[in-house]
Amino acid sequence: MKKILVFSFCVLALSLTASGQRKKVDPSKPIAQEQKVVAEIRQRYADIKNMIRLMGEGPEWMYSEGDEDSPGGWPPDYFHVKIVQNLPATGYHEENVRIYYEEEEIPEEIYPPLRMAFASSKYNFAARQYYEEYLYDKKGNLIFIFAQEPDLETGMWRQMRFYMQGTKVVHTIVRECPLTDDLEVRDLSQDPASEVYSGSGLPTGYIESVDTYVQKAKKIEKMFKAIDEGRTL
């Protein structure tokens, strides 16, 4: 009986020693990972925006601005959907959706499959202007949402940036400024005083907004797929 008790005590002591020697989680690692994800998304965003900036318009795109790699400018490559309606109560409504894409890297394929890279949506309800952007990685996964909207109840412009990893928002930035009479879309990124929130995760007050924009992104993805499958090539 004593041998059993001694053996049990030794096992317990070894277990406690082993658990005490377990490595502690470095609190800086999640922050570093978040910063890495945000930096990669920002680089991807900058690359796509530069591609769009260099794109020409129409059949004379070769006379557009170029760069060292493409002196004659870049040819336009996007889908453009324009919706015009007359809505009850709010009147004239116009929505412009632009979808930019990349080709899958398949050797010797003349017309390789396409994947979404970036989409923008600009629309109005009455005089109120809305603008959204959706960025995708090279696997076609949604990684970033930018949305700008007027809030007539608070009298503020609101800009939201959601950085994503998988289906989770890992970083959020929200900026606000007073509405002006023209209700036009404006950039607040250069105005430090406009920052309402900038930090890890997703504040509970913006969960519904993210859900709404993710659903909008899915609709644009369906639109892209329908156009891609229906185009003449």
Classify residue 128: in a domain, yes or no.
yes
Classify residue 57: in a domain, yes or no.
no
Classify residue 157: in a domain, yes or no.
yes
3-state secondary structure the chain: CHHHHHHHHHHHHHHHHHHHCCCCCCCHHHHHHHHHHHHHHHHHHHHHHHHHHHECCCCCHHHCCCCCCCCCCECCCEEEEEEEEEECCCEEEEEEEEEEEEECCCCCCCCCCEEEEEEEEEEEECCEEEEEEEEECCCCCEEEEEEEEEECCCCEEEEEEEEEECCEEEEEEEEEEECCCCCCCCCCCCCHHHEEEEEECCCHHHHHHHHHHHHHHHHHHHHHHHHHHHCCC
Classify residue 67: in a domain, yes or no.
no
Domain with 147 in it? 81-230
- Tens-binned pLDDT, residue by residue, of the chain (233 aa): 444 444 444 444 445 444 444 455 455 677 888 999 999 999 999 999 998 888 877 666 666 665 555 555 677 889 999 999 998 988 888 999 999 999 888 877 778 889 999 999 999 888 788 999 999 999 999 999 999 988 888 888 899 999 999 999 999 999 998 877 665 656 777 777 788 999 999 999 999 999 999 999 999 999 999 998 887 66
Domain tally for the chain? 1
pTM for the model: 0.81
